[in-house]
A = this chain, B = another copy of it.
Amino acid sequence: MGTTGIQTPTPTRMPSVERRELILAAATAVFGERGYAGATTAQVAKAADISQPYVVRMFGTKENLFLEAMDRALGKLLNAFRTLISEYDAGRMDSQVAALDPSLGETRAGHLRGLMGRAYADLIRDRGILLLLMQSFVSGHEPIIGPRARDAFLALFRLVRDEAGLGPQGASDFLAQGMLMNTLISLRMPEVFETNPLAGELLACTMKTKLDTVLAASQAHPRID
């Protein structure tokens, strides 16, 4: 047989920094859905539209890929909160503050609590960030990932307690709300919002003014699986 006309398609070349970010974004979505153990490097590769060995080649091991995705996710979350705190303190958020639930109180801490809650809900749009962190939080048994996840959680606690000024009890309460939101998203509760009244009420009470944001986000990214 002679050579056919079929050509092996030339792979899309890309600077490695850019490629890394692409893979990390894919890994965030996949690990966020399936957890560290449940996800495969092949699934990440498919989501990033490259070959499986290349994923491993670039990050060394699956574990290391997870760790880097986790750092990236934590960085984005901390950064979102810090940016918001700066803007609040610079007096640049009066319109946002006006839209807050008045039951949060008129103090700086009360305002920031409301603003951070909203920022948190907005992050759901950034596919997988919060889910990946949640998956890391239930991986405490992993020898390397576990301690890093613990540190990540504590960094979050410190930020909310000190920089946002919620104090220890306020920070604990804030994080509790966050963990419930994560759980409901993980459980895909928004997908049954309309068909299950019980789920609807739970979501409404938990998400409050952020409900519309959360529902929109769940419609925005259809299943990867």
The answer to whether A206 and B35 touch across the interface, beta carbons within 8 angstroms, is: no
Question: With an 8 A cutoff between CB atoms, is A188 at the interface?
Answer: yes
Query: 1/0 contact trace for A84-101 toward B, CB 8 Å?
Result: 000000000000000000
In the complex formed, the residue of B with least CB distance to A156 is B202
Q: Does A41 contact B (CB under 8 A)?
A: no
CB neighbors of B among A172-189 (8 A):
172, 175-177, 179-180, 182-183, 186-189
Check if B158 sits within 8 Å of A198, measured CB to CB.
yes
> In the complex, what residue of chain B is closest to A33 when comparing beta carbons?
B141
Contact of A205 with B137 in the complex, beta carbons under 8 Å: no
Compute how far the CA of A157 lies from the CA of B203 in the bound complex, rounded to whole angstroms: 11
Best-buried of A149, A182, A198 by chain B (most CB within 10 Å)? A198
Which residues of chain B have C-beta atoms less than 8 A from A158's C-beta?
198
Are A154 and B198 in contact, with the CB atoms below 8 A? yes
- Give the distance in Å from the alpha carbon of A224 to the alpha carbon of B206 in the complex: 35
Residue of B at shortest CB range from A37?
Answer: B38
Contact status of A172 and B206, CB under 8 A, knowing A140-B186, A183-B138, A188-B150: yes
A residues whose Cβ falls under 8 Å from a Cβ of B: 33-38, 134-135, 137-141, 146, 149-150, 153-154, 157-158, 168-169, 171-172, 175-177, 179-180, 182-183, 186-189, 192, 196, 198-199, 201-202, 204-206, 225
